[in-house]
Amino acid sequence: MAADTGQAPEGWVPVEHRWLGLDRRTFAAGFTALAVALLLIYGFQGLNAAIPWHNEIRAGQVLDLGDGATAVPPVGWQLEHGTLTGGAGAAPTSLQILLASGGATIEIDGTTYDGSADAFLDQVLRSEGDTANVSGSRGSLTTDSGLVGVVESSTGPSGDAIDVAFKMAVGTTESVDAAPALLVRVRTAAGQFERYQDEVAALLRSITPGATR
């Protein structure tokens, strides 16, 4: 009979370090290796897709658009990028917000532009080339606070798109033209916009300029 040396067998894992038969002490290194592999193979987009977001919008939360301007995001959507009121604050001319829900996204970007909302949207679309659209139409939208925006919808092979441009001020033509510009871009899979149209419309109507403008 072999003598008991008092030493654990090679490869033995103490029970307090086990989880479903695995050595929990190796988890951190394993997850780090997985993240590096995803980054090398798919880049940052692949890494983001593999790691779920858990920043769900709750009732009563409000987006900070900078300089006192705000918008109310749809409850249940994920805030992947951006700032809520009461946070670190946002700059209206370098604003970047991204909301996502299922296959739909809402991007809200702020920048400087001297001119009307209509001219601003024209410049955005020209800079990107607007050749992929199968159909499109342009109209106007007035928010609950009196901001007047320009809306262009389009449908193409890549999906449904809504682009809305605002100048973040009400008042004289001169003050509106000089105000920061805001671009709201909604993207869904083809034929899927109707699933989200009520939530999108509520967000657009809620956009409010800063009190000082």
**What pLDDT does residue 158 have?**
86
* Segment 174-197, tens digit of pLDDT: 999 999 999 999 999 999 999 999
Is 183 in a helix, a strand, or coil? strand
- Does 97 lie in the same domain as 23? no
Cβ density class 142-163: b for 16+ within 10 Å, e for less: ebeeebebbbbbbbeeebbbbb
- Residue 77 class from Cβ within 10 Å (0-12 exposed, 13-18 middle, 19+ buried)? buried
Q: What is residue 156's predicted lDDT score, i.e. its pLDDT?
A: 83
**Model confidence, pTM:** 0.74
Query: Is there a domain that residue 58 lies in?
Result: no
Task: Give the CATH number for residue 193.
Answer: 3.40.1000
Instruction: Looking at the structure, tell me whether residues 44 and 81 fall in a common domain.
Output: no
> How many domains in the chain?
2
Residue 213 lies in a domain: no
Judge whether 187 lies within some domain: yes
pLDDT at res. 202: 98
> What is the dihedral angle through the alpha carbons of 169, 182, 109, 60, rounded to the nearest 10 degrees?
60
Domain that holds residue 23: 15-50
| Shared-domain flag, residues 46 and 126 | no
* pLDDT for res 61: 97
Q: Are 99 and 165 in the same domain?
A: yes
Are 46 and 72 members of one domain?
no
pLDDT for 46: 46
> Which residue ranges in the chain fall short of pLDDT 50?
2, 18-24, 27, 38, 44-52, 131-134, 213
Torsion sign (Cα): 138, 119, 71, 156: positive
Cα distance between residue 34 and residue 124, in whole Å: 38
Q: What is the pLDDT of residues 67-78, one digit of tens each?
A: 999 999 999 999
Q: Are residues 86 and 42 part of one domain?
A: no
Let me know whether 105 and 199 are in one domain. yes
pLDDT at position 34 is: 53
Q: CA 85 to CA 64: how far, in whole Å?
A: 5
What is the structure's pLDDT at 20? 45
